[in-house]
A = this chain, B = another copy of it.
């Protein structure tokens, strides 16, 4: 792992180290564990919110604005001996520096900076299970003389309702007010129907500002605020307008002296209790302890699955960055990033369902909690909301409108995938009998009944070819085929439905319900047959039939000849026979592969098509219109692995690993430590450019593909299924994994004899390690002979 133009991986500390503030896009990190949190960039840009970025925003951020990536969590450092000043995070002053470094770690970001022999180290984090964020500053005089330094913080407050903050300037500007009491700056709306935002510091300030206008000054900006230029805040109380949390601290620093200063930001229902509650928490000793707790949390989290393979990049992904990204997608779905504003979307039902796959091994209790929220998004007829807001529970159908149907054909089926993955990981079948109400009523039903409703909904919505209707869209959101007739069918949904039927049949069988299982199998056979009769185009599977019954994704077309997903899912669902599977996968590679992964379809739509909808609003090569939609690549990889094409699969896997983008950061632009949702495809002039880093289903599916299919360590109702599909030039690999609370050390090697040895004893099955046979108290060592 070489150093790139902008940074490198520090795998000892589990940090990505950014060495230049001028990254091609802001390279961000997430703070918080899913409740209080926010984003922070490598120059301190970003914002905060308390559980819900739409309705409880705390810090403002200006997307897509100039200057870019502002505002943020800033500290100005002023040398009072010569009136020079700079920022501890480079932005917003952007002064020259002697040293700059940003370390994005797991749940924290540290930015260190030196100028004029004044060294600062600023760490942002949200303590575990606390609804506050801390800015932990260490400032050191590295010179041989006494220095006089003023520090100015800058937190720009947002109206809790982030949409109104932008859109109802008239009202919001009249009703917000600031105050300063007991060392705390408070910010709130006059009517106080919500809580206060508070901002405080571990040392009493020299002066403060709550009014943004006062702090900045007229026709100045964040690069040259009036308060910083003049050397002190104005003790302004904002009676209206825009608010900031700015404290001015003044220090005399002896040669070599270091001070620590901690700022805390959060919300509070009460002005009086806040200061006392916070002060003990933010004493430097306490903060150090809170930080260690966070570090330990993540060490424990990652320990739930660790690998050692010949591929150090793969190791780094699977051991650190991929599970970290999975946790982030689990926290925020597709709601809040540099590309999603935390306002309109809310959490995605299908997105969150898939996000569960990437975290269920580590935090099954949290997975269960979210599952129950998702299941409550189901209507009695079986379809679900497409989106929901985490704090209010309020759901919507997303963009679905304009056709006959306002539902997506796949949302509800993802509940099955997620629940089954929870059951197999945990063995906790009590979930199935848990009662959850439907979205539109107080009527409860068991989780199992909800899953059955999912199946029934699709069963009741089959099209003219006996293939599931497309509704507003299938997983491919902007492919909007329903023009009012409601006749469009999704071949892909048919396959996904088959996979769901397989899972339900397997579950029913495991529960001893043979007749039920048989029913699912029968329906599976019917759909499978329809797909193979009507959905096969000769060399690959169609994507769909449009509202006129015409083929979508056929060689007979000029555009949209082939879609990626149906080829992958023909295998994932078991719908394709081996010959068709082989043919389809081969053709997919031939027509869709690029240097950075497979594109969604080929050839791209060259102009807007009313009968295809949203997908054709994108230029050729962008997003779903023949872009590399990274999420779909792990599905294809799994299909290749299931088909035994291990080397091909590994090659595909390597193409999408973000670490390799570190060397081409100027082209790829987005963060090299996390997967991004989309990369412009070969038909786009900016081929290779990534966007929508962080919040993408790629995270959980790349994790599933890597751990469960490539390494082949797959939870099952009865135990752990072990079936590696490693590349031919690998000799061995090792996994340490916790399974239902029990630690397993799994060594797989081509030099071992065939079969699985559990604690030295050869098991009956060539793949299954039965849970019952595991030592519950002492460590388990598993040796697996790879004979492929």
Q: Provide the residues of chain B in CB contact with A691, threshold 8 Å.
A: 170, 173-174
Which of A190-198, A252-260, A319-327, A723-731 sits within the interface? A190-198
Q: Provide the residues of chain B in CB contact with A70, threshold 8 Å.
A: 66
Is A287 an interface residue, CB under 8 A from the partner? no
Residue in B closest to A680 when the chains form the complex, CB atoms: B240
Closest Cβ of chain B to A684, distance in Å, is: 7
Which of A134-142, A406-414, A616-624, A780-788 sits within the interface? A616-624
Q: Provide the residues of chain B in CB contact with A169, threshold 8 Å.
A: 63-64, 339, 341
Which of A77-85, A213-221, A533-541 sits within the interface? A213-221
Q: Tell whether A240 pairs with B686 under 8 Å between CB atoms, given A193-B608, A219-B94.
A: yes
The complex places the Cα of A189 from the Cα of B608 at a distance, in Å, of: 10
The complex places the Cα of A21 from the Cα of B220 at a distance, in Å, of: 12
Q: Is the interface of A mostly helix, strand, loop or mixed?
A: loop
Q: Provide the residues of chain B in CB contact with A617, threshold 8 Å.
A: 171, 175, 189-191
Q: Provide the residues of chain B in CB contact with A219, threshold 8 Å.
A: 21-22, 67-68, 91, 94
- Binary flags per residue of A206-241, CB closer than 8 Å to B gives 1, else 0: 000000100010111110000000000000000110
A623 B340 Cβ-Cβ under 8 A: no
Q: Tell whether A67 pairs with B221 under 8 Å between CB atoms, given A339-B169, A619-B239.
A: yes
B340 A175 Cβ-Cβ under 8 A: no
Q: Tell whether A622 pairs with B168 under 8 Å between CB atoms, given A65-B62, A70-B66.
A: no
The complex places the Cα of A216 from the Cα of B66 at a distance, in Å, of: 9
A168 B344 Cβ-Cβ under 8 A: yes
Is A44 an interface residue, CB under 8 A from the partner? no
Is A242 an interface residue, CB under 8 A from the partner? yes
The complex places the Cα of A618 from the Cα of B240 at a distance, in Å, of: 10
Closest Cβ of chain B to A696, distance in Å, is: 12
Q: Provide the residues of chain B in CB contact with A190, threshold 8 Å.
A: 608, 617-619
Q: Provide the residues of chain B in CB contact with A175, threshold 8 Å.
A: 617-619, 622
Q: Tell whether A622 pairs with B221 under 8 Å between CB atoms, given A71-B66, A192-B607, A242-B64.
A: no
Closest Cβ of chain B to A397, distance in Å, is: 17
A167 B65 Cβ-Cβ under 8 A: no
Is A663 an interface residue, CB under 8 A from the partner? no
B239 A340 Cβ-Cβ under 8 A: no
Number of copies: 2
Closest Cβ of chain B to A607, distance in Å, is: 7
The complex places the Cα of A193 from the Cα of B169 at a distance, in Å, of: 31
A170 B692 Cβ-Cβ under 8 A: yes
Q: Provide the residues of chain B in CB contact with A68, threshold 8 Å.
A: 218-219
- Binary flags per residue of A168-189, CB closer than 8 Å to B gives 1, else 0: 1111011101000000000001
The complex places the Cα of A88 from the Cα of B21 at a distance, in Å, of: 32
B623 A192 Cβ-Cβ under 8 A: no
A192 B66 Cβ-Cβ under 8 A: no
Residue in B closest to A213 when the chains form the complex, CB atoms: B68
The complex places the Cα of A24 from the Cα of B219 at a distance, in Å, of: 9
Give the number of chain A interface residues (Cβ < 8 Å). 59
Closest Cβ of chain B to A413, distance in Å, is: 25
The complex places the Cα of A695 from the Cα of B261 at a distance, in Å, of: 48
Q: Provide the residues of chain B in CB contact with A216, threshold 8 Å.
A: 66
B191 A622 Cβ-Cβ under 8 A: no
Is A280 an interface residue, CB under 8 A from the partner? no
Is A685 an interface residue, CB under 8 A from the partner? yes
Residue in B closest to A219 when the chains form the complex, CB atoms: B22
Is A303 an interface residue, CB under 8 A from the partner? no
Is A775 an interface residue, CB under 8 A from the partner? no
Closest Cβ of chain B to A113, distance in Å, is: 16
The complex places the Cα of A754 from the Cα of B685 at a distance, in Å, of: 83
Q: Provide the residues of chain B in CB contact with A174, threshold 8 Å.
A: 618-619, 622-623, 691
The complex places the Cα of A282 from the Cα of B607 at a distance, in Å, of: 33
The complex places the Cα of A684 from the Cα of B241 at a distance, in Å, of: 13
Among A29-75, those with CB < 8 Å from B are 62-68, 70-71
Is A296 an interface residue, CB under 8 A from the partner? no
Is A720 an interface residue, CB under 8 A from the partner? no
The complex places the Cα of A692 from the Cα of B168 at a distance, in Å, of: 12
Closest Cβ of chain B to A92, distance in Å, is: 9
Is A299 an interface residue, CB under 8 A from the partner? no
Q: Tell whether A191 pairs with B344 under 8 Å between CB atoms, given A219-B94, A619-B239.
A: no
The complex places the Cα of A686 from the Cα of B239 at a distance, in Å, of: 8
The complex places the Cα of A218 from the Cα of B94 at a distance, in Å, of: 12
A64 B623 Cβ-Cβ under 8 A: no
The complex places the Cα of A148 from the Cα of B447 at a distance, in Å, of: 77
Q: Tell whether A191 pairs with B686 under 8 Å between CB atoms, given A169-B339, A219-B94, A691-B174.
A: no
Q: Provide the residues of chain B in CB contact with A240, threshold 8 Å.
A: 619, 622, 680, 686
The complex places the Cα of A65 from the Cα of B166 at a distance, in Å, of: 10
Closest Cβ of chain B to A539, distance in Å, is: 30
Q: Tell whether A65 pairs with B64 under 8 Å between CB atoms, given A174-B619, A618-B174.
A: no
Residue in B closest to A165 when the chains form the complex, CB atoms: B64
Is A203 an interface residue, CB under 8 A from the partner? no
Residue in B closest to A25 when the chains form the complex, CB atoms: B218
The complex places the Cα of A219 from the Cα of B22 at a distance, in Å, of: 7
B608 A177 Cβ-Cβ under 8 A: no
Closest Cβ of chain B to A117, distance in Å, is: 25
Is A343 an interface residue, CB under 8 A from the partner? yes
- Binary flags per residue of A91-115, CB closer than 8 Å to B gives 1, else 0: 1001000000000000000000000
Q: Provide the residues of chain B in CB contact with A167, threshold 8 Å.
A: 163, 341, 343-344
Q: Provide the residues of chain B in CB contact with A239, threshold 8 Å.
A: 619, 684-686
Closest Cβ of chain B to A46, distance in Å, is: 15
A64 B619 Cβ-Cβ under 8 A: no
What are 13 pairs between A and B in contact, CB < 8 Å? A62-B66, A66-B70, A66-B212, A67-B220, A67-B221, A94-B219, A167-B343, A171-B617, A175-B617, A189-B617, A190-B619, A191-B616, A191-B617
In addition to A167-B341, A175-B622, 8 A-B residue pairs with Cβ atoms within 8 Å of each other are A63-B166, A94-B219, A168-B344, A170-B340, A175-B619, A190-B619, A239-B619, A239-B685
Interface residues of A (CB under 8 A from B): 21-22, 24, 62-68, 70-71, 91, 94, 163, 166-171, 173-175, 177, 189-193, 212, 216, 218-222, 239-240, 242, 339-341, 343-344, 607-608, 616-619, 622-623, 680, 684-686, 691-692
